[in-house]
Protein backbone atom coordinates (compact mmCIF):
# COMPACT_ATOMS: atom_id res chain seq x y z
CA UNK A 1 0.00 0.00 0.00
CA UNK A 2 2.74 2.46 0.87
CA UNK A 3 3.98 2.99 -2.66
CA UNK A 4 0.52 3.50 -4.10
CA UNK A 5 -0.61 6.04 -1.57
CA UNK A 6 -0.28 9.75 -2.08
CA UNK A 7 -0.05 10.17 1.67
CA UNK A 8 3.37 8.66 2.23
CA UNK A 9 5.26 10.43 4.96
CA UNK A 10 6.78 13.49 3.28
CA UNK A 11 10.46 14.22 3.56
CA UNK A 12 10.03 17.88 4.38
CA UNK A 13 8.24 18.70 7.63
CA UNK A 14 4.45 18.69 7.37
CA UNK A 15 1.67 19.65 9.71
CA UNK A 16 -0.71 16.67 9.56
CA UNK A 17 -4.32 17.21 10.66
CA UNK A 18 -5.68 14.03 12.22
CA UNK A 19 -9.44 13.57 12.53
CA UNK A 20 -10.55 11.71 15.65
CA UNK A 21 -13.56 9.35 15.99
CA UNK A 22 -16.83 10.95 17.10
CA UNK A 23 -17.95 7.90 19.06
CA UNK A 24 -16.64 4.79 20.83
CA UNK A 25 -15.52 1.74 18.86
CA UNK A 26 -12.63 0.73 16.63
CA UNK A 27 -10.80 3.71 15.12
CA UNK A 28 -10.51 1.72 11.88
CA UNK A 29 -14.29 1.92 11.43
CA UNK A 30 -14.00 5.65 10.76
CA UNK A 31 -10.36 6.28 9.77
CA UNK A 32 -8.35 5.07 6.77
CA UNK A 33 -5.41 2.81 7.57
CA UNK A 34 -2.96 5.44 6.27
CA UNK A 35 -3.90 7.78 9.14
CA UNK A 36 -2.78 5.14 11.63
CA UNK A 37 0.49 4.66 9.76
CA UNK A 38 1.29 8.37 9.65
CA UNK A 39 0.25 9.11 13.24
CA UNK A 40 2.53 6.29 14.41
CA UNK A 41 5.58 8.10 12.98
CA UNK A 42 5.02 11.52 14.51
CA UNK A 43 6.70 12.67 17.72
CA UNK A 44 5.27 16.19 18.21
CA UNK A 45 1.59 16.95 18.56
CA UNK A 46 -0.63 19.96 19.08
CA UNK A 47 -3.71 18.61 20.87
CA UNK A 48 -6.95 19.91 22.30
CA UNK A 49 -6.63 17.69 25.37
CA UNK A 50 -3.52 15.70 26.25
CA UNK A 51 -5.31 12.88 28.05
CA UNK A 52 -7.74 12.17 25.21
CA UNK A 53 -4.98 12.52 22.59
CA UNK A 54 -2.94 9.85 24.41
CA UNK A 55 -6.02 7.61 24.51
CA UNK A 56 -6.58 8.13 20.77
CA UNK A 57 -2.95 7.30 19.95
CA UNK A 58 -3.07 4.12 22.04
CA UNK A 59 -6.23 3.05 20.20
CA UNK A 60 -4.58 3.74 16.85
CA UNK A 61 -1.50 1.69 17.63
CA UNK A 62 -0.71 0.11 20.97
CA UNK A 63 3.00 0.00 19.99
CA UNK A 64 3.33 3.80 20.10
CA UNK A 65 5.63 4.82 22.96
CA UNK A 66 3.45 7.61 24.31
CA UNK A 67 6.09 8.75 26.83
CA UNK A 68 8.50 9.60 24.02
CA UNK A 69 6.05 12.09 22.49
CA UNK A 70 5.79 15.83 23.04
CA UNK A 71 2.34 17.40 23.38
CA UNK A 72 1.38 21.06 23.18
CA UNK A 73 -2.10 21.78 24.48
CA UNK A 74 -4.29 24.09 22.38
CA UNK A 75 -7.70 25.09 23.69
CA UNK A 76 -9.56 28.26 24.63
CA UNK A 77 -7.24 28.75 27.61
CA UNK A 78 -4.10 28.85 25.42
CA UNK A 79 -2.61 32.35 24.92
CA UNK A 80 -2.02 33.48 21.32
CA UNK A 81 1.72 34.13 22.01
CA UNK A 82 2.10 30.58 23.23
CA UNK A 83 0.63 29.05 20.04
CA UNK A 84 3.36 30.58 17.86
CA UNK A 85 5.96 28.57 19.83
CA UNK A 86 4.17 25.26 19.27
CA UNK A 87 5.56 24.83 15.76
CA UNK A 88 9.24 25.12 16.74
CA UNK A 89 9.83 21.39 16.21
CA UNK A 90 8.94 21.99 12.53
CA UNK A 91 11.72 24.60 12.22
CA UNK A 92 14.03 21.80 13.36
CA UNK A 93 12.76 19.57 10.55
CA UNK A 94 10.13 17.51 12.36
CA UNK A 95 6.64 16.82 11.11
CA UNK A 96 3.89 17.52 13.59
CA UNK A 97 0.29 16.42 14.08
CA UNK A 98 -2.84 18.23 15.20
CA UNK A 99 -5.37 16.12 17.15
CA UNK A 100 -8.71 17.49 18.30
CA UNK A 101 -11.15 16.00 20.80
CA UNK A 102 -13.55 14.58 18.23
CA UNK A 103 -14.04 15.14 14.52
CA UNK A 104 -11.82 17.19 12.24
CA UNK A 105 -9.23 19.62 13.60
CA UNK A 106 -9.90 23.27 12.74
CA UNK A 107 -13.55 22.64 11.75
CA UNK A 108 -15.89 23.59 14.62
CA UNK A 109 -12.90 22.74 16.80
CA UNK A 110 -9.61 24.42 17.81
CA UNK A 111 -6.71 24.09 15.41
CA UNK A 112 -7.31 26.84 12.84
CA UNK A 113 -4.89 29.16 14.71
CA UNK A 114 -2.01 26.74 14.55
CA UNK A 115 -2.79 25.88 10.90
CA UNK A 116 -2.82 29.61 10.13
CA UNK A 117 0.65 29.99 11.65
CA UNK A 118 1.94 27.01 9.66
CA UNK A 119 0.51 28.62 6.49
CA UNK A 120 2.21 31.94 7.36
CA UNK A 121 5.53 30.18 7.74
CA UNK A 122 5.14 28.34 4.45
CA UNK A 123 4.93 24.84 5.95
CA UNK A 124 3.09 22.14 4.08
CA UNK A 125 -0.28 21.41 5.73
CA UNK A 126 -1.80 17.96 5.11
CA UNK A 127 -5.41 17.29 6.20
CA UNK A 128 -6.33 13.61 6.52
CA UNK A 129 -9.68 11.93 5.93
CA UNK A 130 -11.98 11.31 8.87
CA UNK A 131 -15.45 11.72 10.31
CA UNK A 132 -17.10 15.14 10.29
CA UNK A 133 -20.57 15.29 11.79
CA UNK A 134 -21.23 18.45 9.75
CA UNK A 135 -20.43 16.84 6.43
CA UNK A 136 -22.03 13.47 7.24
CA UNK A 137 -25.25 15.08 8.46
CA UNK A 138 -25.38 17.19 5.28
CA UNK A 139 -24.93 14.04 3.17
CA UNK A 140 -27.74 12.30 5.04
CA UNK A 141 -30.17 15.22 5.17
CA UNK A 142 -31.25 15.22 1.53
CA UNK A 143 -30.74 19.01 1.57
CA UNK A 144 -28.82 21.19 -0.89
CA UNK A 145 -25.17 20.14 -0.87
CA UNK A 146 -24.25 22.60 -3.63
CA UNK A 147 -24.73 25.54 -1.29
CA UNK A 148 -24.62 25.37 2.50
CA UNK A 149 -23.48 27.34 5.52
CA UNK A 150 -22.25 26.14 8.89
CA UNK A 151 -23.09 28.71 11.56
CA UNK A 152 -21.50 27.13 14.65
CA UNK A 153 -23.53 27.89 17.79
CA UNK A 154 -26.50 30.25 17.61
CA UNK A 155 -26.60 33.26 19.98
CA UNK A 156 -27.39 32.36 23.60
CA UNK A 157 -29.24 35.64 24.10
CA UNK A 158 -32.95 35.07 23.38
CA UNK A 159 -33.52 38.29 21.47
CA UNK A 160 -30.38 37.84 19.36
CA UNK A 161 -31.36 34.24 18.60
CA UNK A 162 -34.89 35.22 17.53
CA UNK A 163 -33.31 37.69 15.09
CA UNK A 164 -30.95 34.95 13.91
CA UNK A 165 -33.88 32.65 12.99
CA UNK A 166 -35.11 35.42 10.68
CA UNK A 167 -31.69 35.68 8.98
CA UNK A 168 -31.54 31.89 8.68
CA UNK A 169 -34.94 31.74 6.98
CA UNK A 170 -33.92 34.60 4.66
CA UNK A 171 -30.62 32.96 3.72
CA UNK A 172 -32.29 29.63 2.91
CA UNK A 173 -34.31 31.47 0.26
CA UNK A 174 -31.87 34.25 -0.76
CA UNK A 175 -28.88 31.94 -1.28
CA UNK A 176 -30.81 28.65 -1.77
CA UNK A 177 -28.55 27.54 1.06
CA UNK A 178 -28.77 24.73 3.62
CA UNK A 179 -28.23 26.20 7.11
CA UNK A 180 -26.33 24.02 9.61
CA UNK A 181 -25.74 24.70 13.31
CA UNK A 182 -25.06 23.06 16.64
CA UNK A 183 -26.32 23.54 20.19
CA UNK A 184 -24.95 22.65 23.60
CA UNK A 185 -26.29 19.07 23.92
CA UNK A 186 -28.28 19.65 27.13
CA UNK A 187 -30.25 22.37 25.32
CA UNK A 188 -31.13 20.31 22.23
CA UNK A 189 -34.80 19.71 23.10
CA UNK A 190 -35.24 23.38 23.99
CA UNK A 191 -33.91 24.60 20.65
CA UNK A 192 -36.07 22.10 18.73
CA UNK A 193 -39.13 23.33 20.63
CA UNK A 194 -38.18 26.91 19.76
CA UNK A 195 -37.79 26.04 16.07
CA UNK A 196 -41.21 24.39 15.94
CA UNK A 197 -42.61 27.63 17.42
CA UNK A 198 -40.84 30.32 15.41
CA UNK A 199 -40.02 28.79 12.00
CA UNK A 200 -42.42 28.50 9.05
CA UNK A 201 -44.35 25.24 8.93
CA UNK A 202 -42.98 24.37 5.49
CA UNK A 203 -39.28 24.72 6.38
CA UNK A 204 -37.56 21.34 6.63
CA UNK A 205 -35.51 20.44 9.71
CA UNK A 206 -33.03 17.57 9.70
CA UNK A 207 -31.88 16.36 13.11
CA UNK A 208 -28.69 14.30 12.94
CA UNK A 209 -27.62 12.77 16.23
CA UNK A 210 -24.89 10.44 17.48
CA UNK A 211 -23.21 10.40 14.04
CA UNK A 212 -21.08 7.21 13.63
CA UNK A 213 -22.36 6.07 17.04
CA UNK A 214 -24.54 3.11 17.95
CA UNK A 215 -27.70 5.20 17.96
CA UNK A 216 -26.92 7.26 14.88
CA UNK A 217 -30.06 8.81 13.47
CA UNK A 218 -30.56 11.35 10.68
CA UNK A 219 -34.18 12.36 10.28
CA UNK A 220 -35.67 15.02 8.03
CA UNK A 221 -39.20 16.36 8.44
CA UNK A 222 -41.00 19.63 7.86
CA UNK A 223 -41.42 21.91 10.89
CA UNK A 224 -45.17 21.10 10.65
CA UNK A 225 -44.36 17.40 11.09
CA UNK A 226 -41.82 17.98 13.90
CA UNK A 227 -44.57 19.87 15.79
CA UNK A 228 -46.55 16.61 15.96
CA UNK A 229 -43.62 14.33 16.82
CA UNK A 230 -42.19 13.19 20.12
CA UNK A 231 -38.44 13.61 20.40
CA UNK A 232 -35.66 13.51 22.95
CA UNK A 233 -32.20 14.57 21.83
CA UNK A 234 -30.98 15.98 25.15
CA UNK A 235 -27.34 15.23 26.00
CA UNK A 236 -26.72 13.52 22.63
CA UNK A 237 -24.29 15.27 20.24
CA UNK A 238 -26.60 16.58 17.55
CA UNK A 239 -26.42 18.68 14.40
CA UNK A 240 -29.35 20.69 13.07
CA UNK A 241 -29.93 21.46 9.41
CA UNK A 242 -32.61 23.68 7.89
CA UNK A 243 -33.67 23.97 4.26
CA UNK A 244 -36.74 24.68 2.22
Residue 85 touching a copy of itself (CB under 8 A): no
Residue 144 touching a copy of itself (CB under 8 A): yes
Q: Which is nearer to a copy of itself, 57 or 67 (CB)?
A: 57
Residue 146 touching a copy of itself (CB under 8 A): yes
What does the alpha-carbon distance between residue 22 and residue 25 come to, in Å, rounded to a whole number? 9
240 contacts 180 by C-beta, under 8 angstroms? yes
Let me know how many helices (H) and strands (E) the chain has, helices first.
Answer: 9, 10
Q: What is the closest distance, in whole angstroms, from the C-beta atom of residue 164 to a copy of itself in the complex?
A: 11
For 122-216, strand residue ranges (E) read 124-127, 148-153, 178-182, 204-209
32 contacts 68 by C-beta, under 8 angstroms? no
Q: Using CB under 8 A, which residues numbered 31 to 50 contact a copy of itself? A: 31-34
Near a copy of itself by CB under 8 A: residue from 91, 129, 193, 201: 129
What one-character DSSP code corresponds to residue 142?
Answer: -
Residue 78 touching a copy of itself (CB under 8 A): no
Q: Using CB under 8 A, which residues numbered 189 to 218 contact a copy of itself? A: 206, 211-214, 216-218
Q: Which residues contact 129 (CB under 8 A, 6 or more apart)?
A: 19, 31, 32, 35
Residue 143 touching a copy of itself (CB under 8 A): yes
Region near a copy of itself per CB under 8 A, out of 4-12, 185-193, 195-203, 226-234: 4-12
Q: Which residues contact 1 (CB under 8 A, 6 or more apart)?
A: 33, 34
Residue 26 touching a copy of itself (CB under 8 A): yes
Region near a copy of itself per CB under 8 A, out of 61-69, 126-134, 189-197, 226-234: 126-134
Amino acid sequence: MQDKSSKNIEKKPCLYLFPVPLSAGDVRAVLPEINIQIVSEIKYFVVENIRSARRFLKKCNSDIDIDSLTFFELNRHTAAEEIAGFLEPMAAGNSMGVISEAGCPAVADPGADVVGIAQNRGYKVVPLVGPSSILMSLMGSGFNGQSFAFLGYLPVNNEARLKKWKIIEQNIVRFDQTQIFIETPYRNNKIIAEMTKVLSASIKLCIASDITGENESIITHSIAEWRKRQYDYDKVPTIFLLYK
